[in-house]
Structure formats: C-alpha cells, structure tokens
C-alpha cells in the first residue's frame, strides 16, 4: 500500500475503558509502522461512567492479545474471578438460577445435552441443570480453579471472566498505551468539531486549550454524549426502550463484609434489578430501574437498604436510553463504547461490545479513501451483533412470571422482536436452540435462560431415545458425581486469590 493512502493519525475522543482499550489495541497493532500516530483527548474535569465492571470471558483474549500478564493485571485492578451470573428472583420471587460460562454435560447420541436432561425429567427426575455444570458447582461452594489446558472430559471445558475496577483498568491501559512510541494524551475538552465542506468528514477538533487536532480517522469514545458521532455527524439513534424499559441506574460502592464470591449477582427488584460485583477491596452495587415505576429518591433508598456493607461513596446516577446508533461507522468516525449504543448492564456485555468494535475496526481498518463497501459491512455486522444481544436481554424480562409489580407484568405482556419470538417458539416445540449470524451467546446460555425461566419444550430430540433409559440415568449420575468431586477439590475463591494474585495493600 502507498504510504500516502494509509491512515496515519487516529484521534480518540474520550478516555475511560472504551478510549484506552481502543488506544492500547491500535498502538499494539501499529508497532513497526513508522509515522502512525494516536492522539487521545480526555479531560480530567469530565468523569467517566466506570462504576466497577463485570466482564465476559472474551476480555481474557483481549488482554492476552496485548501481551498483558494476567497476574499483574488482576493485582493492579483489584480484580476477582467470575464463573458466571447468579439470577435471583427473576422468574419468581424466592427462585434463583446460575448462568455459567460453560456447556452442560456432553452430547448424547449426537444431540445436545439438554435433550438427555429433558428425557430424564420425563421419568420424574428433578435434578437441576446446574448439577451438570462444573462452574455452577464451584460457584455454589464459593470455589474457583482455572480450567485445564486440555480437559479430559467435555464438562471440564469452561471459561471464566473477571470483576475489576473500571477506573483502575483504564489507568492500567493508559500506562500501557503511552509507553508505545507515537501515542499522545491531551488533557483537554473538545469545544468544536470542524467538518470538511466538500464531503462532511471530520477535519479536526478545536480544544479548550487552543490546540487544533486534525486527523485521518476519529474514534468517538465520549460516552452517552456522542460528541462526534451524534452531535457533529447527526447519525441518529434507534430507541429500544419499548423492549428494554430501564432508563436509569444508581451506583454505590460498599465495604466487603465477606470473602468475594466468584460470580456476579443480578437481583430482580420491584422496578428493575440490582447488581453486586465483588472486587478485592470493595463491592460494586447498582440499581438499574425504569423511571416510569420508580423515582431517583426511591431507587437510592432501595439500594442503600440492600447494601451488604457500609456505603463508601455517595450515589452516582446514570441516565440512558437503550438502543444503538443507526451507524457505528459514519464517514471517518467510528463510535466505540457508550457512544455507539447501550443495551444495559445485564449480562455484562458493555466491555465485550467495546472489544468487538475494536476487532471490527482492526479487521476493516481503512485507507484514507474510506471504502463504503467496507464501512457498510462493518456497520452490518455490528448492527446484527447488537440485535442478537438485545434479544437475549429482552428474554430476561419477557419470560418472567412475577406478579408483584407493574414493571414485570408489563414486560411479560409486551410484544417482542420477531427474531426472539421465533427462537422461543422453536425451543418450546422440540428444544431447538437457533443461532443466527453474529451471536454473542452460545447454546448453553440460551438453554440456561429457558430452563431458569421454566420455558421447557413439549418434546426432546428423538436421538436420545436410542439410549436405554437406565443406562442414560447411570451416565448422567456419573457426570454429576464427577462434577461434585472436581468442585470439592478446588480451593476457595479467596484462597486462590491469596495464593496467586492478591492486590498489594
């Protein structure tokens, strides 16, 4: 490629998790490319949304791609391990289920494991699906162990993620990125975005310190404000609040009063749900709620009353509209993080979507001409990924059987996207789990939700009928026993952290 055609200068507006993940990934990719530069603009006067983050297992691949040492990362971000999410009171009050990062059991006669579980249930066996999941068993016992590199049995093949302090993670990546030649940080605010008159592309940014920063490619990581993608380029926004009605959140850290659990808790409340994210030095808490059913004062009172430990800070309020930009990539601007859209914190998809957007940017990294064919394709795959996650989150609200408050009754009665309706109908019929293009959640995750909300099919896959029922029962009992034994031999989560990766006090 002719050097004059290359994008030489990337300008990122906004720090925080999205900005510094992008800067770190691009800086790493640009190593050995003379002349390429990255300027990140962030103002210390503007706070970030970071309130303590729960992640998906994909974060491990991102860190590894940068050559980040896992132990060093955990210690410096006060991180803990995450085997999945415990859902409390979502189906009905008093019920709970666990969403692990792992498949269940193993295939039987070529059919997915849940069909064997369903067949055994027909005989009166009431064993829960969770008993066929090693990370679920470890989480129940507050235990943690890393998976074997080459598991001897399929059910030992599981993944894990992290809980970490988002502010510390952004600081960690800032240090990483700024150590690479060609990366510069400007502590300033953008006061004007200037567009090229001939094509409407961004020419440059005027900062409050008087500096004018021109560039070839601009990344909007400015959060909900969307300084570039929306305020300057007027890209438009697709509103999903008719499916995902929560539009507020209040966050408040609290003191740890017990050893941190190796999982996130999502607790359904009257007007939304509460998160609990255990770190090494504190617990992150928040209440995600719908302002039509609860005001801000009521949300703070409810959250304070639900804290396990003493509050460590005043409440931090967030207001948002669930949905996405009509384009993630518009002209020479790419929106990453909250600037591109927001589905809500449930299932910890925010950082995973940052990571996915960065991967798409690298895969379709442009020349200065900015081919419409490539930017259109990048927009298509990101749009579909957002929509697949959207459907998975909507399922959590639609499938509830609560009758204690208006929010849950209204969500149960609401129309849903055709794509989700089709998935639910096919599972109800014969346990089929449909995977569309750009799915972020695999079959086991969908099965977890269906089973957790009591959505069980009327029939199972006929292939499992080829196995004698008594043989099948013995096979499944053997799997349960092996999982129990493996879980019991694992150290506690607190012991694992103390032994391998405790943060420096």
CATH number at residue 356: 3.50.50.60
Q: How many structural domains compose the chain?
A: 2
Q: Are residues 111 and 127 in the same domain?
A: yes
Is residue 348 packed enough to be buried (19+ CB in 10 Å), middle (13-18) or exposed (0-12)?
Answer: buried
pLDDT confidence of residue 311: 97
90 band by pLDDT with thresholds 50, 70 and 90: very high
Domain ranges, residue 288: 84-158+248-319+399-505
Report the pLDDT averaged over residues 285-305.
98
Residue 393 falls inside a structural domain:
no
Q: Are residues 172 and 272 in the same domain?
A: no
Which DSSP letter does residue 466 get?
G
pLDDT over threshold 70, residue 444 = yes
pLDDT over threshold 60, residue 9 = yes
pLDDT over threshold 90, residue 368 = no
Which DSSP letter does residue 195 get?
E
Residue 289 falls inside a structural domain:
yes
Q: Are residues 326 and 314 in the same domain?
A: no
Residue 256 falls inside a structural domain:
yes
473 band by pLDDT with thresholds 50, 70 and 90: very high
Write down the mean pLDDT value for the chain: 95
Per-residue pLDDT tens over the stretch 153-174: 777 889 999 999 999 999 999 9
* φ/ψ of residue 346, rounded to 5: -55, 135
Q: Are residues 430 and 492 in the same domain?
A: yes
Residue 66 falls inside a structural domain:
no
Q: Give me the active site residues, please.
A: 82
d(CA 15, CA 47): 10
414 with 364: CB under 8 angstroms?
no
Residue 351 falls inside a structural domain:
yes
Q: β-strand 9-13 against 217-220: which pairing, if any?
A: parallel
405 with 394: CB under 8 angstroms?
no
Q: Are residues 310 and 409 in the same domain?
A: yes
Examine the fold and report which residue of 370, 391, 407 is the final residue of a domain before the chain moves on.
370
Q: Are residues 291 and 350 in the same domain?
A: no
Q: Are residues 119 and 254 in the same domain?
A: yes
Q: Are residues 433 and 489 in the same domain?
A: yes
Report the pLDDT averaged over residues 145-157.
84
Q: Are residues 284 and 408 in the same domain?
A: yes
Residue 195 falls inside a structural domain:
yes
Per-residue pLDDT tens over the stretch 30-83: 998 888 999 999 998 776 655 558 999 999 999 999 999 999 999 999 999 999
309 with 260: CB under 8 angstroms?
no
Looking up tokens 């009605």 gives 245
1 band by pLDDT with thresholds 50, 70 and 90: very low
Per-residue pLDDT tens over the stretch 187-223: 999 999 999 999 999 999 999 999 999 999 999 999 9
pLDDT over threshold 90, residue 397 = yes
Residue 60 falls inside a structural domain:
no
pLDDT over threshold 70, residue 3 = no
pLDDT confidence of residue 152: 78
What global pTM score does this model have?
Answer: 0.96
Per-residue pLDDT tens over the stretch 248-278: 999 999 999 999 999 999 999 999 999 999 9
82 with 160: CB under 8 angstroms?
yes
Q: Are residues 406 and 485 in the same domain?
A: yes
Q: Are residues 448 and 365 in the same domain?
A: no
Residue 386 falls inside a structural domain:
no
What is the end-to-end Cα distance of the chain in Å, rounded?
Answer: 50
Q: Are residues 286 and 411 in the same domain?
A: yes
């Amino acid at each position: 490629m002719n050097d004059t055609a290359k994008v030489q200068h990337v300008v990122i507006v906004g720090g925080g998790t999205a900005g510094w993940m992008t800067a770190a990934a691009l800086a790493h990719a640009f190593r050995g490319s003379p002349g390429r530069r990255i300027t990140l603009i962030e103002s210390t006067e503007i706070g970030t949304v970071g309130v303590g983050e729960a992640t998906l297992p994909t974060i491990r691949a991102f860190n590894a791609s940068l050559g980040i040492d896992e132990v060093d990362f955990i210690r410096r971000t006060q991180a803990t391990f995450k085997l999945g999410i415990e859902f409390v009171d979502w189906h009905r009050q008093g019920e709970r289920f666990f969403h692990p990062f792992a498949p269940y059991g193993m295939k039987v006669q070529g059919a997915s494991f849940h069909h064997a579980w369903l067949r055994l249930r027909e005989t009166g066996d009431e064993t829960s699906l969770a008993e066929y999941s090693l990370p679920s068993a470890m989480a129940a016992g507050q235990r943690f162990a890393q998976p074997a590199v080459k598991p001897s049995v399929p059910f030992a093949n599981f993944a894990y993620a992290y809980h970490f302090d988002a502010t510390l993670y952004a600081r960690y990546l800032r240090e990483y990125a700024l150590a690479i030649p060609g990366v510069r940080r400007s502590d300033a605010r953008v006061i004007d975005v200037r567009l090229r008159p001939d094509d409407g592309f961004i020419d440059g940014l005027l900062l409050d310190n008087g500096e004018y920063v021109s560039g070839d490619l601009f990344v909007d990581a400015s959060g909900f404000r969307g300084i570039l993608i929306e305020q300057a380029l007027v890209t438009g926004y697709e509103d999903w609040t008719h499916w995902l009605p929560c539009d507020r959140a209040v966050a408040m850290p609290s003191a740890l009063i017990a050893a941190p659990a190796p999982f996130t808790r999502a607790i359904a409340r009257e007007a939304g749900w509460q998160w609990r994210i255990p770190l090494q030095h504190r617990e992150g808490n928040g209440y995600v709620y719908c302002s039509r059913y609860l005001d801000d004062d009521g949300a703070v009172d409810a959250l304070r009353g639900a804290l396990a430990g003493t509050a460590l800070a005043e409440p931090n309020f967030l207001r948002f509209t669930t949905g996405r930009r009509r384009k993630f990539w518009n002209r020479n601007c790419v929106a990453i993080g909250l600037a591109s859209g927001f589905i809500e914190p449930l299932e910890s998809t925010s950082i995973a979507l940052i990571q996915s957007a960065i991967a798409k940017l690298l895969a379709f990294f442009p020349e200065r001409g900015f081919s419409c064919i490539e930017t259109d394709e990048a927009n298509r795959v990101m749009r579909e990924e957002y929509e697949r996650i959207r459907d998975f989150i909507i399922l959590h609200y639609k499938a509830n059987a609560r009758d204690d408050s208006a929010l849950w009754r209204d969500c149960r009665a609401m129309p849903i996207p055709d794509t989700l309706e089709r998935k639910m109908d096919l599972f109800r019929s014969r346990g089929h789990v449909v995977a569309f293009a750009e799915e972020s959640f695999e079959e086991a995750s969908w099965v977890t939700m269906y089973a957790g909300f009591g959505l069980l099919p009327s029939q199972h896959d006929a292939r499992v009928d080829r196995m004698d029922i008594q043989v099948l029962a013995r096979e499944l009992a053997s799997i349960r026993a092996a999982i129990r034994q493996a879980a019991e031999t694992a150290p506690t989560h607190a012991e694992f952290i103390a032994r391998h990766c405790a943060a420096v006090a």
